[in-house]
Structure 1
Amino acid sequence: MKVQKAFLKKRTGLVLCAVALGLVYILISKLSTNGKYKKASIKLEEIWGSTFSKNSTQLKDIHGTPSENKQLNDNVTLNNESRGYHPLNSIYFLKIHKTGSSTLQSILQRYGDIKNLSFALHASSNQLEYPQLFKKNFTMTLKAPYSRYDIICHHLRHSDEVFDVLKPEGKAITMLRKPTYNFISAFKYFDYWSKNCFGTHNIDKFLSTIESSTYKLTESGKCANRQLYDLGMEPTDAKNVTKVQKKIQEMDRMFDLVMISEYFNEGLILLKHLMNWSFDDIVYISKNVQAKKTTGIDVTYPKAYRKIRELNMGDEILYQYYNKTFWNIINDFGRERMNTELSQFNQVRDKIQRYCIEEEVNGTNKKLDQYNNPTWVPHKVNAYLLSKEGKDNATCRQLVTYEIAYTDYLRQKMNSLGYV
């Protein structure tokens, strides 16, 4: 990985570390916004309701008056032009299932929406023909003079053809999750998958059964190592240690950053520096968070935990490698520096959460307004009721809108902008 290697090669001495960081900043500052895109002729209220047009305020209004902003770091506000704000606008995010990827996708959707960027979208689905390996004809055809997309962030199964539709200067990122928790989260969320693979979609029954010392957990086909599967590996190859290690080498060359779900905010800080973005660009409200957490099974079901870990050994090798790599990067970035930026970022998130959100509810809550459920909110996950102020605020509406609704809107906007 380009940025990760830039960090890891400069680990000795404060001077060498400073040089490495300097090189990274030069790298991520090369591409500036060229302003070539036309202004949107489609209005958000066409998708999210007529009340949206009452107040088009963005984050600068949520942050408060200038006197209030003095209490925060300069980076917290939207006044980025004065400090040389030249963000990179092209990125490929491989959205791996059940890794917290919907929240990161939401960040990228909002960023591209604000900048009027192009998204690689299917003509009708929110996925790009998953589980087929990606082919460039899965996306809508761009009109001249456009030939490549700015952002790819929807579910697909990776193949190198992705880079045939992404702008050549685009960065590539993905995110991994601890395999045992990834497996259980998928088990609970995808009923059809868990029942077909293991005969039940009841997670407590499943864990209790395999906790027995005499029960041997086996699977056939596509029931394990799902993170490697999304990365393009065949199920049989994911059980081969040598092939998994080769895949890791390919990923090192391919991805500029591999985030770790359990340290999501730390990963966002690294993403912020990779793309030369601001705190406002990476602010979020969590999406697709299941009501019942998957953590703690190692204590409650220790034997089941071990068996699930062994079943997903390919994913485990992958995760352990990139978890170690991730923390090596943070060490070279600087723990104190990271903690400082996390503190600043949390101030931004807390202020926006207080301003926008009245209540966090289940996706089945009947109080959910049309702006949060114009198409679909997953019934198994969280959703948000906006505050009185948030209902009339553009940013708040964007922050709580779920993937399918946002994708439908972006597809219409792309047509209106003349991209497709």
Structure 2
Amino acid sequence: MQRCARRRTASGSVIVAVMMVVVVVVVFLPPLPSSSSPSSPSSDSSSSLSSSSSVKSLQDSLQATVPPPAPLPPSLKEISEESCRPRHDLVFLKTHKCASSTTQRIFLRYGKQHGLTQALPSTGNYLGSPRPFKEWMLPRSLRTPNGKYNMMVVHTRLDAESVAKVLRKDASWITIVREPVAQFESLWGYFEMEKFYNMPLEEFADLPYEKVVRWRLAKVYGIHQMFYDLGYGSAEDLTPTDMDRILTKLNSTFDLVMVAERYDESLVLLKDLMCWTADDVAYLSINFRKGKPATNKIAPDTREKLLQLSYPDAKIYEYFLKVFEKKVEAFGRVRMAKELAAVQDANKRLAEKCVVNEDSPLRAEKGMEWVGVVGRVTVRRDVQDCVDVVRTEHDMLNDVRDRQRLWVERGWRGNLSQVVVSPR
């Protein structure tokens, strides 16, 4: 009997101990998932301990003692905020004599390296102009399977709705502007327009607007060239309200309007917009005027007359210079200085890799046939990227076009960047 009593006592003690452990475990367990949770089975709410007010108060007190998560270290925070995915889709409205050839070369090189498709004419470097761009201008021999392209960076006259039809919907829209008198004087010298008009620039500036606006070399090159490239014609009946409406529309169309006089800052903003690297936007100047620009030789009264003839371009430049300044302020002056240094270092690395002396046996010659009035940089021919940096626009476009045409002929198979074509 005594052994039985002791056995019952011992058993009772074990049972009590087990029950205490169970109670402790249940009390400190987190509440069961709600029945509304899609990953949890339904449960009987009348038997759930999580409904007990005493248990809930204990859980609340425990949660209150848990410290908040520690903030990320500054370096990790910057990575988290600044990380992004490179963008491959863009349209670049290539305005004449606004450092646009150098900018176009950045896009063509990037597109070639990454196997991106280009909206191109069958020959040459113009899609339209004097006609504004239309979808039918793109040749079948270069067409993508769905009629959409990664990039459009050749000369055209803007028709935004038509351009949007052949680009991906998330494409970035970019163009570039330049101080109007400097831009027109550069255009005048590059195309030798004095021969076309049979008069010096000073005499041209005295002509009435009604005459010069309809008198364009090849029906393309002439007064307020930026306004023309952006798809507009005469400004004879343009009111200040009309001009404001045009500027607002252009500002809503373009994600970035670069400024030629602040080119490296423009590249920093471009790099940020596209999430590219400094090496992606590195450049060597091409298609630049030999010697010093003649703009500073223009008499003040001639300059004023040219500004009046170029009224739309003057308004465009003034407006987008202010927009640009606001973008720089929003970007941050300290950050801009840091990013400028990175772009300039990338330019230096590119020059060290590519540039050679004029008499170097490695100098590239094919594809370097620039017109006589412009200067060029001499690069080595044994590094293709160096050649692509400074080769003429026509030569570079022919290379890109030949690759894309062969890719289309093969039924769009494989990566476009891997297509190899025989040199012309």
CA distance in 2, matches of 1:316, 1:238: 17
Partner of 1:47: none
Partner of 1:402: 392
Q: Which amino acid aligns with 1:172?
A: W
Summarize the Cα distance change of 1:273–1:237 in structure 2 as closer, same or farther, 3 Å threshold: farther
Instruction: Using the TM superposition, give the Cα deviation of residue 391 of structure 1 relative to its aligned residue in structure 2, in angstroms.
Output: 2.7
> How many residues are matched?
319
CA distance in 2, matches of 1:312, 1:360: 40
Percent identity between matched residues is 27
CA distance in 2, matches of 1:234, 1:353: 41
Secondary structure, in 3 states, of the residue corresponding to 1:310?
helix
User: Which of residues 327, 330, 334 in structure 2 aligns to 1:329?
Assistant: 327
Partner of 1:382: 375
Q: 2:224–2:311: 8 Å Cα contact kept in structure 1?
A: yes
Instruction: Using the TM superposition, give the Cα deviation of residue 378 of structure 1 relative to its aligned residue in structure 2, in angstroms.
Output: 2.3
State which drifts further: 104-113 or 226-235: 226-235
Tell me, which stretches of 5 or more residues in structure 2 are unaligned? Answer: 1-78, 217-221, 413-424
Q: Which amino acid aligns with 2:224?
A: N
Partner of 1:121: 120
Secondary structure, in 3 states, of the residue corresponding to 1:372?
coil
Q: Which amino acid aligns with 1:397?
A: V
Q: 1:240–1:314: 8 Å Cα contact kept in structure 2?
A: no
Q: 1:120–1:140: 8 Å Cα contact kept in structure 2?
A: no
Q: 1:118–1:414: 8 Å Cα contact kept in structure 2?
A: yes
Instruction: Using the TM superposition, give the Cα deviation of residue 194 of structure 1 relative to its aligned residue in structure 2, in angstroms.
Output: 4.4
TM-score w.r.t. length of structure 2:
0.70
Summarize the Cα distance change of 1:358–1:101 in structure 2 as closer, same or farther, 3 Å threshold: same
CA distance in 2, matches of 1:341, 1:248: 29
Q: CA RMSD in A?
A: 2.6
Q: Which amino acid aligns with 1:150?
A: N
Q: Which amino acid aligns with 1:399?
A: V
| Pairing of 1:165-180 with structure 2 (within 5 A) | 165-180=166-181
Instruction: Using the TM superposition, give the Cα deviation of residue 343 of structure 1 relative to its aligned residue in structure 2, in angstroms.
Output: 1.1
Instruction: Using the TM superposition, give the Cα deviation of residue 300 of structure 1 relative to its aligned residue in structure 2, in angstroms.
Output: 5.3
Q: 2:127–2:154: 8 Å Cα contact kept in structure 1?
A: yes
Summarize the Cα distance change of 1:98–1:115 in structure 2 as closer, same or farther, 3 Å threshold: same
Summarize the Cα distance change of 1:166–1:237 in structure 2 as closer, same or farther, 3 Å threshold: farther
CA distance in 1, matches of 2:189, 2:240: 28
Q: 2:357–2:363: 8 Å Cα contact kept in structure 1?
A: no
Please tell me whether residue 158 in structure 1 is matched to residue 148 in structure 2: no
Q: Which amino acid aligns with 1:337?
A: R
Instruction: Using the TM superposition, give the Cα deviation of residue 172 of structure 1 relative to its aligned residue in structure 2, in angstroms.
Output: 0.5
Encode CA deviations 1:136-173: one digit per residue, 9 max, x unaligned: 11112355633201000000000020111111111101
CA distance in 1, matches of 2:339, 2:294: 27
Q: 1:217–1:307: 8 Å Cα contact kept in structure 2?
A: no
Partner of 2:184: 183
Q: Which amino acid aligns with 1:404?
A: H
CA distance in 1, matches of 2:311, 2:158: 20
Instruction: Using the TM superposition, give the Cα deviation of residue 368 of structure 1 relative to its aligned residue in structure 2, in angstroms.
Output: 6.9
Instruction: Using the TM superposition, give the Cα deviation of residue 296 of structure 1 relative to its aligned residue in structure 2, in angstroms.
Output: 4.8
Partner of 2:263: 264
User: Which of residues 283, 299, 302 in structure 1 aligns to 2:300?
Assistant: 302
Instruction: Using the TM superposition, give the Cα deviation of residue 249 of structure 1 relative to its aligned residue in structure 2, in angstroms.
Output: 1.3
Summarize the Cα distance change of 1:182–1:113 in structure 2 as closer, same or farther, 3 Å threshold: same
Q: Which amino acid aligns with 1:124?
A: T
| Pairing of 1:11-160 with structure 2 (within 5 A) | 86-141=85-140, 143=143, 145-159=145-159, 160=161
User: Which of residues 351, 354, 358 in structure 1 aligns to 2:352?
Assistant: 354
Q: 1:92–1:173: 8 Å Cα contact kept in structure 2?
A: yes
Q: 2:180–2:317: 8 Å Cα contact kept in structure 1?
A: yes
Summarize the Cα distance change of 1:332–1:277 in structure 2 as closer, same or farther, 3 Å threshold: same
Partner of 1:275: 274
Secondary structure, in 3 states, of the residue corresponding to 2:377?
strand
Encode CA deviations 1:260-296: one digit per residue, 9 max, x unaligned: 1111110111011111100111111112101144365
Q: 2:284–2:377: 8 Å Cα contact kept in structure 1?
A: no
Secondary structure, in 3 states, of the residue corresponding to 1:349?
helix
Instruction: Using the TM superposition, give the Cα deviation of residue 234 of structure 1 relative to its aligned residue in structure 2, in angstroms.
Output: 1.3
Summarize the Cα distance change of 1:391–1:307 in structure 2 as closer, same or farther, 3 Å threshold: same
CA distance in 2, matches of 1:238, 1:91: 33
Secondary structure, in 3 states, of the residue corresponding to 1:385?
coil
Secondary structure, in 3 states, of the residue corresponding to 1:278?
coil
Partner of 1:342: 340
CA distance in 1, matches of 2:241, 2:139: 37
Q: 1:238–1:244: 8 Å Cα contact kept in structure 2?
A: no
Q: 1:360–1:385: 8 Å Cα contact kept in structure 2?
A: yes
Secondary structure, in 3 states, of the residue corresponding to 2:289?
coil
Q: 2:364–2:387: 8 Å Cα contact kept in structure 1?
A: no
Q: Which amino acid aligns with 1:308?
A: L
